[in-house]
């Protein structure tokens, strides 16, 4: 049964979470070698002797160059095995993540994509307005705390200045956004008519 866009988005979030939970990882392979050394007088050259080893090494490539690290102890071997196994999980999850994103891109309609960008633009405008208002209130309350009084004329001028800066930032955001679709225009009008609290969230009707 084909998955819906919502199902795929949930799957993408799950894969991203599993990627974030991975531990230390690195590519490579662990091999064990045995054999005789280059010293003719060594016991490994005696008849019936198996030779030295097994000697475990971790081998991997960096910029096309093969690197080999000795793993001299059981603890070093176990550590390298865990890291290589985590890397294999990383490779598997990465393939899943890319495949899921490919399906999401294929299924997501163009209008929805534009609407998503519209929501981001509106949220950016709300955050800028909230930032300016909060900064204005901070200055007003700080001045009142220091002087013990409220200068109404200065407060009005400060409010006008804050609103001008917020308006300029909003205009800049809107000029960068392409003309919305008919559905997007209705959504923009609805969002623009919602009052915001000091935290920038839409207040309930």
Domain ranges for the chain, please list them.
5-31+56-107, 112-192
Q: Is 117 helix (H, G, I), strand (E, B) or coil?
A: helix
- Tell me, what's the pLDDT at 1? 65
d(CA 132, CA 167): 10
Token match 């220091």: residue?
A: 146
Q: What does the pLDDT read at residue 68?
A: 92
- The Cα 179–Cα 121 span in angstroms is 12
Give the predicted TM-score (pTM) of the model.
0.49
pLDDT tens series, the chain, 205 aa: 678 889 999 999 999 999 999 999 999 999 988 767 667 777 666 776 766 668 899 999 988 899 999 999 999 999 999 999 999 999 999 999 999 999 999 888 776 556 677 777 778 877 877 887 788 778 777 777 778 777 777 777 777 777 777 777 767 766 665 555 554 455 445 555 554 444 444 444 4
Give the span between the Cα atoms of 187 and 38, in whole angstroms. 79
> Cβ–Cβ contacts within 10 Å for residue 56, how many?
19
């Amino acid at each position: 049964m084909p998955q819906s866009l919502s199902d795929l988005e949930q799957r993408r979030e799950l894969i991203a979470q599993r990627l974030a939970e991975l531990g230390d990882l690195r590519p490579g392979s662990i091999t064990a070698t045995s054999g005789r050394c280059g010293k003719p007088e060594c016991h490994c050259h005696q008849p019936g002797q198996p030779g030295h080893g097994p000697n475990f090494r971790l081998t991997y490539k960096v910029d096309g160059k093969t690197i080999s690290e000795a793993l001299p102890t059981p603890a070093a071997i176990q550590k390298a095995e865990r890291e290589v196994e985590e890397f294999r999980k990383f490779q598997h999850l990465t393939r899943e993540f890319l495949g899921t994103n490919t399906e999401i891109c294929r299924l997501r309609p163009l209008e929805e994509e534009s609407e998503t960008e519209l929501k981001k633009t509106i949220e950016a405008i709300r955050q800028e307005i909230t930032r300016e208002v909060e900064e204005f209130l901070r200055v007003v309350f700080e001045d009142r705390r220091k002087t013990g009084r409220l200068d109404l004329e200065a407060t009005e001028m400060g409010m006008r200045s804050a609103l001008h800066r917020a308006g300029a930032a909003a205009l800049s955001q809107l000029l960068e956004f392409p003309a919305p679709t008919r559905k997007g225009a209705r959504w923009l009008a609805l969002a623009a008519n919602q009052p915001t609290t000091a935290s920038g969230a839409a207040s309930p009707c």
